[in-house]
C-alpha cells in the first residue's frame, strides 16, 4: 500500500456467540480500515491482498478510535486493532 496509509494489526476478535473458529484466522493480519462508522458496516481491507476484506455487520459502538488503536463493536463481536506503521 502507499506510504503513509495507516495499517492496523487485528489483535483481538471477541465473539459474543459460539462461532469463534473463523474469526481466529484474522488475528495477526494487517488491515486498512476503509470505513468504521456508527450504524454502518465496517470495511477492513487486507494489506497484503486488497481483493480480501472483512465486512462486518452494523457497528453499534466505537469505544476507541485514535491514530494508534481502534476498538469497535457489532451486535455480536468486539474488534481490536493496533496501528503498525
pLDDT digits (tens, 9 = 90+) for 2-23: 578 999 999 999 988 765 555 6
pTM score, two decimals?
0.88
Sign, Cα dihedral of 62, 10, 74, 14: negative
Residue 3 counted as domain residue:
no
Q: Using CA atoms, how far apart are residues 17 and 75, in angstroms rounded to an integer?
A: 10
Q: Using CA atoms, how far apart are residues 51 and 18, in angstroms rounded to an integer?
A: 28
Residue 28 counted as domain residue:
yes
Overall domain count for the chain: 1
Residue 1 counted as domain residue:
no
Q: In terms of residue numbers, what domain contains 63?
A: 8-83
Residue 38 counted as domain residue:
yes
Lowest mean pLDDT among 7-16, 21-30, 42-51, 74-83: 21-30
Give pLDDT, residue 11: 97
Residue 25 counted as domain residue:
yes
Q: Using CA atoms, how far apart are residues 41 and 18, in angstroms rounded to an integer?
A: 21
Residue 2 counted as domain residue:
no
Amino acid at each position: 500500500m502507499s506510504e503513509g496509509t495507516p495499517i492496523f494489526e487485528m489483535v483481538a476478535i471477541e465473539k459474543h456467540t459460539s462461532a469463534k473458529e473463523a474469526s481466529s484466522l484474522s488475528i495477526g493480519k494487517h488491515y486498512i480500515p476503509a470505513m468504521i462508522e456508527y450504524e454502518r458496516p465496517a470495511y477492513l481491507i487486507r494489506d497484503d491482498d486488497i481483493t480480501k476484506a472483512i465486512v462486518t455487520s452494523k457497528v453499534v459502538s466505537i469505544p476507541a478510535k485514535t491514530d494508534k488503536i481502534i476498538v469497535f463493536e457489532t451486535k455480536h463481536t468486539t474488534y481490536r486493532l493496533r496501528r503498525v506503521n
